[in-house]
Amino acid sequence: MSVVGKNIPHDSAKGHVTGESLYIDDLPFARNELLVDYWGSPVAHGRIRSLNLEEAAKIPGVVALFTYRDLGGHNHFGPIIEDEMLLVEELCEYIGQPIVVIAAETRKAIAQAKKAIQVDMETLEPVFTIDDAIAKRQFIGTTRVIQRGDLDTAFQQADHVLDGTFINGGQDHFYLESQAVIAYPGEHQTLTVHSSTQNPSEVQREIANILGLQHHQVVCVTKRMGGAFGGKETQATHPAAMAALVALKTHRPARLVLNKDDDMRTTGKRHPFQNNYKVAFNRDGLILGLQVDFYSDGGAAADLSTSIMGRAMTHAENAYFIPNIKITGTVCKTNFPPNTAFRGFGGPQGIANIENIIEEIAATLQQDAYDIRRLNCYGLQERNMTPYGQVFQNNWLPTIFNQLAERADYKNRRAEVEAFNARSRTHLKGISMTPVKFGISFNTKFLNQGNALVNVYLDGTVQVSTGGTEMGQGLNTKIQQLVADEFHIPAESVIVMSTSTEKNNNTSATAASSGTDINGSAAVIAAQKIRERLIEFASRHFALKELGLIPSTGHIQFEAGQIYDSRNPDKKLTFAELVKLAYFDRVNLGERGFYTTPGVDFNWETGQGTPFLYFTTGCAVSEVLIDRFTGELKVLRTDILMDIGKPINPGIDRGQITGAFIQGMGWVTTEELKFSASGELLSHSPTTYKIPNIQDVPEIFNVDWVDNDGNHMNVRRSKAVGEPPLVLGLSVWAAVKHALGCVSGGQIPKLNLPATNEEILMRLTELAESRSVAPSPVTPPFAVCPNEPEN
Helix, strand, coil % over all residues of the chain, rounded to 5: 30, 25, 40
Integer-rounded Cα Rg, in Å, for the chain is 28
Beta bridge partners of 148: 325
Beta bridge partners of 500: 221
Give the end-to-end CA distance of the chain in Å, rounded to a whole number: 65
Q: Longest C-alpha distance within the chain, in Å? A: 102
DSSP string, 50-118: EEE-HHHHTSTTEEEEE-GGG-SS-SEE-SSS--EESS-SSEE-STT-EEEEEEESSHHHHHHHHHH-E
Cis peptide before 551 (omega within 30 of 0): no
**Alpha-carbon distance 675 to 683, whole Å?**
7
Dihedral of CA 694/695/699/703: which sign? Answer: negative
Q: Going along 282-323, which residue ranges are E strands?
A: 287-299
Query: Phi, psi (5° rounding) for residue 493?
Result: -80, 0
Residue of 20, 723, 766, 788 with catalytic role: 723
Give, to the nearest 10 degrees, the angle between helix 650-668 and helix 730-741.
40
User: Is 758 annotated in the active site?
Assistant: no
Q: Going along 583-742, which residue ranges are E strands?
A: 590-596, 601-603, 608-610, 614-627, 633-643, 700-705
Cis peptide before 490 (omega within 30 of 0): no
**Nearest-CA neighbor of 318 among 401, 403, 438, 148?**
438
Helix (H) or strand (E) holding 361: helix 347-365
Reduced to 3 states (helix: H, G, I; strand: E, B; else coil), residue 349 is helix
Q: How many C-alpha atoms does 705 have within 13 Å on its Cβ side?
A: 24
Tell me which residues are annotated as active site: 723
